[in-house]
Amino acid sequence: MHDTPRTAHAKEVTVLAAFIQRMAMFAMVRGVSREDIHGALGYGPEALQDSERHLHAEGPRRLLALLEARFPQEALGLTLAESIPPNTFGALTYAGRHCRTIGATFPLMQRYVHTVSSHLSVEPLADGLTFHHAAFPDSPTIMEASVAHTWRQFIALGLTPALLARVELAHAPRDTLSRYEAFFGQVPAFGASRYALRLHPDALDQPITGADPNLYRFITTHLAQYEPNPVPVTDETADLQAAIVQAGETGAFSVEAVAEALGTSVRTLQRRARDAGTTLSDLLNRHRQRRAEALLHNRRLSVDDVAFLVGYADERSFNRAFRRWTGRTPAAFRRAGPA
């Protein structure tokens, strides 16, 4: 039997479940057995179903150590970065797509990178970024993956290898130099004093195609709500509903996120909701519906945008849920206009 993963307090080291999911899938593809993966993590796949949840870092630390021991002569950080879909880090990635320029993504990452892991930090340089992760201080894999994934994000935003001035990695090469050169378009400076990406000056002012400043402000407003806040208790369901709103601001529409916000168990909250004549699922869905309806009135947002902002992985799932709530599709609701 696996241990129940503990939900962390703000100062404890945590990692986004979506990233742990990708680590586990990566390990499985590389031939690590399910038993070894779950044994390293200390919990099974059910703990990772809510991708927005934050879990303690001990499990992913053990899994990384296992991978590094099994593949000591491979650039696992590069391969891991290649396996991570662009949207894994949710609203932070989404906001980056709507920054005005490449340089404008630097302060965004500095401010909100804790939504990926509580102790991951990014510091802007005049021409780039440095990376540090207190949860994985001795893991070249996780730092290499952080640098590599960020470079892939820059490429997705329109940069080319010609605009990458320098890559600094504090560890020694873990694969052939040609492997690194194929990934970055250059051989990194190994044994550096830090982990960093340095860009040519022309890259900083490069505009990001399709950026919408209004959507950027909208998304960062939600990111700003990520830090947990005290929840006032006024009646038997007011604190539940406030916690649902708080969790929803970060895209975490799950009973686990509500329980975490209130510092209690899912079972306790389910009992409280039942005693009040409702269920947690009903309260969550009502909030999701109200939020979706409000967002659909903003025609700058596509239906897919709205699906993302109310916690659905794809438009099809959102369409099914919205039809169940209202009897019509999101597109039909939008065409009808405000009531």
Contact (CB, 8 A) for 318 and 312: yes
State pLDDT tens for residues 320-333. Answer: 888 888 778 898 88
Mean pLDDT calculated for residue range 166-180: 96
pLDDT of residue 291: 82
- DSSP 8-state assignment for residue 292: H
pLDDT for position 255? 81
Q: Which of 63-67, 189-193, 227-231, 315-319 has the highest mean pLDDT?
A: 189-193
Give the model's pLDDT for residue 204: 92
Least confident window among 3-12, 142-151, 238-247, 282-291: 3-12
β-pairing, 189-190 vs 120-124, is unpaired
The predicted structure's pLDDT at residue 260: 80
CA distance 183 to 174: 14
Q: What is the pLDDT of residue 277?
A: 72
Q: Work out the average pLDDT over 130-157.
A: 88
Q: Where are the domains of the chain?
A: 1-72, 75-211, 228-336
Q: Among 273, 285, 295, 297, which residue's Cα sits nearest to residue 323? A: 285
Element (H, E) at 120: strand 120-124
Residue 195 pLDDT class (50, 70, 90 cuts)? very high
Q: What pLDDT does 9 receive? A: 41
Least confident of 6-20, 38-52, 133-147, 285-299: 6-20
Query: Rounded to whole angstroms, how far apart are CA atoms 211 and 191?
Result: 37
**How much is the mean pLDDT over the chain?**
83
Please give the pLDDT value at position 165.
Answer: 97
Q: How confident is the model over 12-21, as pLDDT tens digits?
A: 678 888 888 8
**What is the percent of the chain with per-residue pLDDT over 70, rounded to a whole number?**
88
pTM, rounded to two decimals: 0.64
* Mean pLDDT of the 83-91 span: 80
State the Cα–Cα distance between residues 224 and 214, nearest whole angstrom.
15
Superfamily name and number for 228-336: Homeodomain-like (1.10.10.60)
- Whole-number Å distance between alpha carbons of 332 and 312: 19
Q: Give the pLDDT score at 233.
A: 31
Of the listed ranges 60-74, 95-109, 318-332, the least confidently predicted one is 318-332
Q: Is pLDDT at 59 greater than 60 in this prediction?
A: yes
The average pLDDT across 149-164 equals 94
Contact 266, 255 (CB under 8 A): yes
Per-residue pLDDT band for 116 (boundaries 50, 70, 90) equals confident
